[in-house]
Amino acid sequence: QVQLVESGGGLVQAGGSLRLSCAASGRTFSSYGMGWFRQAPGKEREFVAAISWSGGSTYYADSVKGRFTISRDNAKNTVYLQMNSLKPEDTAVYYCAASVRETYGSSWLGEYDYWGQGTQVTVSS
């Protein structure tokens, strides 16, 4: 069993930055593909970014490419999402997720086995 705990969300003005963290329990974190997803009110959960087990491969949704950066520190069992140039449309609950099978990460939420409880990000205009 893996537990994921997100932190770092909050209220920020448009153009600002936030860094989300996701701390994972368990000794096999370094073998998991990890992803960040988000869900705005009334919308489906959508892919934001993913990273491979080693951190060597990363993937982004077109809407965040060039503004967000996903990274991981396997020694700390933590994955990060650095969010710059935030826009009001980035407002959502952000979730991290772990995939046992897709060690290179995936944009499809069905590939993820474990999810965190989410952290709210609100961007004001």
The enclosing H or E element of 59 equals strand 58-60
Please write the tens of the pLDDT for every residue from 7-28: 999 999 999 999 999 999 977 8
Question: DSSP E strands: which ranges in 67-110?
Answer: 68-73, 78-83, 92-99
Give the model's pLDDT for residue 86: 98
Please state, in angstroms and rounded to a whole number, the distance separating the CA atoms of residues 84 and 90. 11
Q: Note the helical H segments in the chain.
A: none
Please state, in angstroms and rounded to a whole number, the distance separating the CA atoms of residues 95 and 88. 18
Neighbours of 56 (CB within 10 A): 8
Give the model's pLDDT for residue 41: 93
* pLDDT tens by residue, the chain, 125 residues: 899 999 999 999 999 999 999 999 977 899 999 999 999 999 999 999 999 999 999 999 999 999 999 999 999 999 999 999 999 999 999 999 999 999 999 999 999 999 999 999 999 99
Give the model's pLDDT for residue 28: 87
**Which tokens in the block code for residue 16?**
């600002």
